[in-house]
Amino acid sequence: MATETETKKNNSFVLTGSKSVAFEDRPVPSLSDHDPHSVLLQVNYTGICGSDIHYWQHGRIGHYVVRDPMVLGHESSGTVIETGKEVTTLKVGDRVAMEPGIPCRRCYYVLPEDFCYKLPENVSLQEGALMEPLAVAVHITKQSRIRNGDKVVVFGAGPVGLLCCAVAKSFGASKVVAVDIQQNRLDFAKEFAATGVFMPEKVSAQENAERMNKEQDLGLGADVAIDASGAEPSVATAIHVLRNGGSYVQGGMGKDEITFPIMAACTKELKISGSFRYSQGDYADALQLVASGKIDVKKLITREVEFEEAQKAFEDIRDGKGIKVLIGGPK
């Protein structure tokens, strides 16, 4: 077991059980006991993800069950405070976006060198904290096999759905329609990246799809449909809104099992993909999109709060207040 340093304060926001959180002072990991290619990071900003809220409220997501106390938060940026002896691409003081594929369960973070993405001078630490959800959106959009000029419909105008809209647009989509049941989110989507918005009615999925095709001028149907909501009606509407040979990607997580319009999927010969998190190259692509100015993730940041206000920030996101709240790192 790795030895740990006791001289630094390391205040951590810990999920101790379903709907139960607490602040704890945890030991700081010692870099000398880790891979020499790793770095020790001070977390500067962390965004709140829907999965964090789900773990907090339910203690699980599908078969991923929280069995022991867990530090919440995985959308982070930080500053290098120590480097392993074999690290060559980073130095103390570098600001990085942190790919959280290697969990630490602490607020000081030991991470392999190649899981840290150095931020260019024109990219802030706040923006760096949004590289994780943007990388998720990049991966989802890549899974759709999107082509230049495609007409894209995105279901769910939460952070990941909004970022899917922006990525699709940056990849050359000619139309990007955002779908949601909250007018304020649709208003934001239109301002942020969508070329059109649609609010479904309480009618069948097929009726909503037909109305969307007509109102949004989708012709024979959308080329790509992405679900970032996990809602069963959205899944069904997405299948019906696609043209023959269209592409569907399931990015949102909902119930384990749903009613699915399998006949429509078969007769249309749809290409159907699932998407979970991100893969190789997605973080680098996400950072390039922000650094080049193609996507402005700053617009998603509703506000920043101090670390001690973390629980209130979680409550606000649970209650639908704002798009993305950033929690400052412990001081």
Task: Report pLDDT for 33.
Answer: 64
Task: Report pLDDT for 67.
Answer: 84
Digitized pLDDT (tens) for each residue of the chain, 331 residues in all = 233 444 467 889 898 888 888 999 988 888 876 688 999 999 999 998 888 887 888 777 777 788 888 888 889 999 999 999 999 999 999 999 999 876 554 557 788 899 999 999 999 999 999 999 999 999 999 999 999 999 999 999 999 999 999 999 999 999 999 999 999 999 999 999 999 999 999 999 999 999 999 999 999 999 999 999 999 999 999 999 999 999 999 999 888 899 999 999 999 999 999 998 899 899 999 999 999 999 999 999 999 999 999 999 999 888 888 899 999 998 7
Calculate the CA 120 to chain-centre distance.
Answer: 21
Q: Using alpha carbons, list the distances in angstroms from residue 35 to 38, 116, 166, 235.
A: 5, 14, 37, 43
Q: Which fold has domain 4-129+296-328?
A: Quinone Oxidoreductase; Chain A, domain 1 (3.90.180)
Task: Report pLDDT for 320.
Answer: 85
Calculate the CA 149 to chain-centre distance.
Answer: 25
Complete DSSP assignment for 115-151: GEEEPPTTS-HHHHTTHHHHHHHHHHHHHTT--TT-E
Going through 132-283 in order, the beta strands assigned E by DSSP cover 151-155, 175-179, 196-198, 222-227, 242-250, 271-274
Task: Report pLDDT for 214.
Answer: 98
Question: What residues contact 206, with CB distance under 8 A and at least 6 apart?
Answer: 240
Task: Report pLDDT for 239.
Answer: 98
Task: Report pLDDT for 5.
Answer: 40
For residue 251, report the phi and psi dihedrals to the nearest 5 degrees.
Answer: -110, -30
Return the bridge partners of 281, or none.
none
**What's the farthest any 2 CA atoms get from each other in the chain?**
65
Task: Report pLDDT for 102.
Answer: 67
Element (H, E) at 83: strand 75-83
4-129+296-328 and 134-274 share one fold: no
Location of structure tokens 């506000």: 303
Task: Report pLDDT for 34.
Answer: 62
- Spatial separation of the C-alpha atoms in residues 232 and 263, rounded to whole Å: 16
Q: Using alpha carbons, list the distances in angstroms from residue 150 to 164, 175, 322.
A: 14, 7, 30
Hey, what are 281's tokens? 């190259």
Q: How do the domains of the chain map onto residue ranges?
A: 4-129+296-328, 134-274
Q: What is the pTM of this model?
A: 0.87
Decide yes or no: CATH 1.10.540.10 for domain 134-274. Answer: no
| Residue pair 4/31 in contact by the 8 Å Cβ criterion | no
Q: Using alpha carbons, list the distances in angstroms from residue 17 to 48, 74, 307.
A: 18, 18, 20
